[in-house]
Chains A and B, each alone.
Chain A
Amino acid sequence: QVQLVESGGGVVQPGGSLRLSCAASGFTFSGYGMHWVRQAPGKGLEWVAFIRYDGSNKYYADSVKGRFTVSRDNSKNTLYLLMNSLRPEDTAVYYCVKGHSSSWNYFDYWGQGNLVTVSS
């Protein structure tokens, strides 16, 4: 079965950096686009970033563009999110999410989430 396990979250000061990882299993990781979605405490869902199956294209929400970088290592079945210049408003649970397909790009499997807290 599909499993997505995030790691790397924690507490960081404003202006700091953090890298999230997502270990994927149960499907052919190299064949699917992957997303990061976040949820601030008590709030709704916000799409953050998407990377195509081969890493050829990357897309970002305006709120993180220029600060966050999504990447993947298909040899390790792992997705990453490098977060720089973190702000208090980046505090959220970050979910690693599998895209269904390039034509029907809805979110079919979600990781359990990883909390990132930006605070001094």
Chain B
Amino acid sequence: EIVMTQSPATLSVSPGDTATLSCRASQSVSSNLAWYHQKPGQAPRLLIYGASTRATGIPARFSGSGSGTEFTLTISSLQSEDFAVYYCQQYKNWPPWTFGQGTKVEIK
């Protein structure tokens, strides 16, 4: 099973600033990496797939990078609706599909 590890657990950021979230895989997942965000009381929503491709309707301020075992999600010019929990997920080797434990982006 591939273990996904996210850091930090919580990130305090001011509106308008940039947030950088990290995700590490216990073995290479190539570019088979997705990012989701989840607002309180809502279902998760797909943000990024293929490590760097934005899903339909996702604004350009969200960008993903990385391959192999190290990945980054960058959110520039943070807006109020971006404060949420972010999860990475690998879909290279399955089953199981595995998620990181999440990074909470909160208002500073």
Contact = CB atoms under 8 A, between A and B. Distances in A.
Given A44-B87, A59-B94, A106 B46 contact: yes
Nearest to A47: B97
A47 B87 CA distance: 13
Nearest to A62: B96
Contacts of A109: 46
A27 to B, nearest CB: 13
Interface stretch (B17-25, B65-73, B75-83, B98-106): B98-106
B36 interface: yes
Contacts of B34: 106-107
Q: Which one of A35, A47, A100, A113 has the greatest number of beta carbons of chain B within 10 Å? A: A47
B43 A47 contact: no
A100 B96 CA distance: 16
Contact of A47 (B49, B98, B100): B98
A14 interface: no
B61 interface: no
A29 interface: no
Interface string A93-120: 0010000100011111111110000000
A82 interface: no
A47 B44 contact: no
Interface in B35-55: 36, 42-46, 49-50, 55
B43 A113 contact: yes
B91 A104 contact: yes
Contacts of B98: 47
Given A44-B99, A45-B44, A107 B89 contact: yes
Nearest to B92: A105
5 contacts: A44-B100, A104-B91, A105-B94, A107-B89, A110-B45
